[in-house]
Amino acid sequence: MATSAATLSVGTTPTCNSKPCMLPKSNLFNLRFNSPNYFQCFSGLKAAASVSCESESSFLGRESSIALRDSFTTCVTRKNHEPVLCQQPQASSFKVAILGAAGGIGQPLALLIKMSPLVSAVHLYDVADVKGIAADLSHCNTPSQVLDFTGPAELPNALKGVDVVVIPAGVPRKPGMTRDDLFNVNAGIVKSLIEAVADNCPEAFIHIISNPVNSTVPIAAEVLKKKGVYDPKKLFGVTTLDVVRANTFVAQKKNLRLIDVDVPVVGGHAGITILPLLSKTKPSVSFTDSEVQELTMRIQNAGTEVVEAKAGTGSATLSMAYAAARFVESSLRAIDGDADVYECCYVQSELTELPFFASRVKIGRKGVEAVISSDLRGLTEYESEALEALKPELKASIEKGVAFANKQPVAA
Ligand SMILES: NC(=O)c1ccc[n+]([C@@H]2O[C@H](COP(=O)([O-])OP(=O)(O)OC[C@H]3O[C@@H](n4cnc5c(N)ncnc54)[C@H](O)[C@@H]3O)[C@@H](O)[C@H]2O)c1
C-alpha cells in the first residue's frame, strides 16, 4: 500500500465563515486549490481532487486510482492497466482559455488549470504553435479536455463558450527594464486579444496578466466600451502574485505558518504602486519601522529580483502561474456559487479618486460584488504616505492606457 501523502495548496486567503466539514483521512495525494478552508467553504465536498496510489514507491505505479470526489461524473480506476469507469456525482464544468499559452507563464498555468476539478476544458491559444503543448498536457489523467488553437484565424474558436479568459500574452521584462517599457509591444497585443474576447465571449471573466497591468487593464476597458460590451465587474488585472509574495516574505520574516498568512496588497502592479498593507496582516503581527520598510521594498521589487536572477531569459513564470491559477480557481468557485470568495485584484474602483485600483474585492457569480474599503481605513502613517505617493504614477499609467486605446481604431 502507498504510504506517502502530499498536498498541494494554491492560495492562502482564509475566506470562509461557514462551519468546517471534515475531510476523510487517507493516504492520498491531494490537490487543493485556493484557501486552506476551500473544502470547508462548501457545504459538501464539492471539489476534492485526490489521486491515490497503491504502488510501493510512486503514485505513478501499476495500481493507481484517481478519485475525484463529488466532482466528476466518472472516475477512472486502473487495475492491471484496465480502465474501469465508476459513477460519481455531477461535476462543475467550466471552460478556461489561456491566450499566450505557449509562454513561460502560459505553460505551467495550463498544467495547474488542467489539475483543477472545476474545469472541464482548457483552451490553449498562442501565435506560436501550441499543438505539442496540448498533446503533452492532454496525457495527464485529469478529466478536463485540452484543445489547441494556433494563430489569429483560430482565436474565435478558442474563445467561444469559455467562462474565464486568462491573458499572459506578450513580452516579459529583461534586466534594466521597467514594466512600463513593455507598453509599446504589449498594449497592442492586449488590444487585439480583447477585441476578439468582445466578439466571441463578452460574458466571460477576463484576467489580464500582461504587463504593464496598470495600463493594459484600462486599455481592455476602453476596447470593451467601444465594442459595447464592457462589464467592469468582469475585468480583472491579476495582482495575485503581489499577495503571494507578501504572504511568503512575511511568513518567512515572522516565522509564521505560510498557510495562515494573509497580507492585502493594494494600489497597482508596478514598483511603488504595489502597496502591501502590512498593518492589516492576518494573523495580527507587529513590525518594526525598518521591517516595514524592508518588506515593502522587497515585495515591490520582487519581480525585478526574479528578472535579474534570470539574467535576460525572462521574468517570473512559475510563481506567476501559481498565482494566476489561484485567481482562476477563486473566480470559478465564485461563478459556481461560493458566496465567500475574496481576492485582491486591479479593477475599476471608486475606492480612491483613481478609476482603477487594486484592493480586496468580493467576487460572485457575476464578477465583482463589492470592493472592500475596510483595508484602507486606519492605515499607518507610512502606509498613508505611500498611498498618496503611488497615486500620480498609477494615474499616469491609467491615462497612458486610455490614450493608447482611444488613438486606435477598434476592429469591427
Ligand atoms: N501580472 C503579473 O504579476 C505578471 C508577472 C509576471 C509576468 N507578467 C507578464 O506576463 C507576460 C508574459 O510573460 P511570459 O514570461 O509568459 O512571456 P513569454 O514570452 O514566455 O510568453 C509570452 C507568450 O505570448 C505569446 N504571444 C505574443 N503575442 C501574442 C498574441 N498576439 N496572441 C497570443 N499570444 C501571443 C508568445 O508567443 C509567447 O508564447 C509579460 O507581459 C509579463 O510582463 C505579469
CA 290 to chain centre: 31
Instruction: Determine the residue type at 12.
Output: T
Beta bridge partners of 49: 31, 68
- Ligand 1 centroid distance, CA of 293 (Å): 31
- Tell me how far apart the terminal alpha carbons of the chain are, to the nearest angstrom: 61
108-142 b/e with 16+ CB inside 10 Å = b? bbbbbbbbbbbbbbbbbbbeeebeebbeebbeeeb
CB 309 within 8 A of CB 292: no
- What pLDDT is attached to residue 411? 80
Residue closest via CA to ligand 1's atom 11 equals 210
- What pLDDT is attached to residue 67? 31
Q: What is the tens place of the pLDDT at every residue in 275-284?
A: 999 999 999 9
How far is Cα 68 from Cα 70, in angstroms, rounded to an integer?
6
CB 31 within 8 A of CB 115: yes
CB 328 within 8 A of CB 36: no
- What pLDDT is attached to residue 410? 78
How far is Cα 311 from Cα 318, in angstroms, rounded to an integer?
16
Residues of the chain below pLDDT 70: 1-92
Beta strands in 133-278 (DSSP E): 145-150, 164-167, 205-208, 235-237, 265-267, 274-276
Q: Cα–Cα distances in Å, from 97 out to 94, 109, 166, 403?
A: 10, 11, 6, 28
- What pLDDT is attached to residue 92? 66
Report CA torsion sign: 226, 229, 232, 238.
Answer: negative
CB 363 within 8 A of CB 321: no
CB 21 within 8 A of CB 45: yes
Structural domains of the chain in order of their starting residue, each with its CATH number: 5-85 (no CATH), 94-238 (3.40.50.720), 240-397 (3.90.110.10)
- Ligand 1 centroid distance, CA of 190 (Å): 10
How far is Cα 395 from Cα 387, in angstroms, rounded to an integer?
12
- What pLDDT is attached to residue 151? 98
Pocket test residue of 148, 190, 315 for ligand 1, highest count of atoms within 8 A of CB: 315
- What pLDDT is attached to residue 71? 34
Report CA torsion sign: 332, 333, 334, 337.
Answer: positive
Judge whether 123 counts as a catalytic residue.
no
Give the three-state DSSP class for 373.
coil
Residue closest via CA to ligand 1's atom 42 equals 172
**What length does the chain have?**
412
- Backbone φ and ψ of 339, nearest 5°: -90, 10
Q: Cα–Cα distances in Å, from 261 out to 175, 282, 334?
A: 31, 6, 22
- What pLDDT is attached to residue 39? 30
Give the three-state DSSP class for 216.
helix
Residue bearing cell 484557501: 35
- Ligand 1 centroid distance, CA of 103 (Å): 6
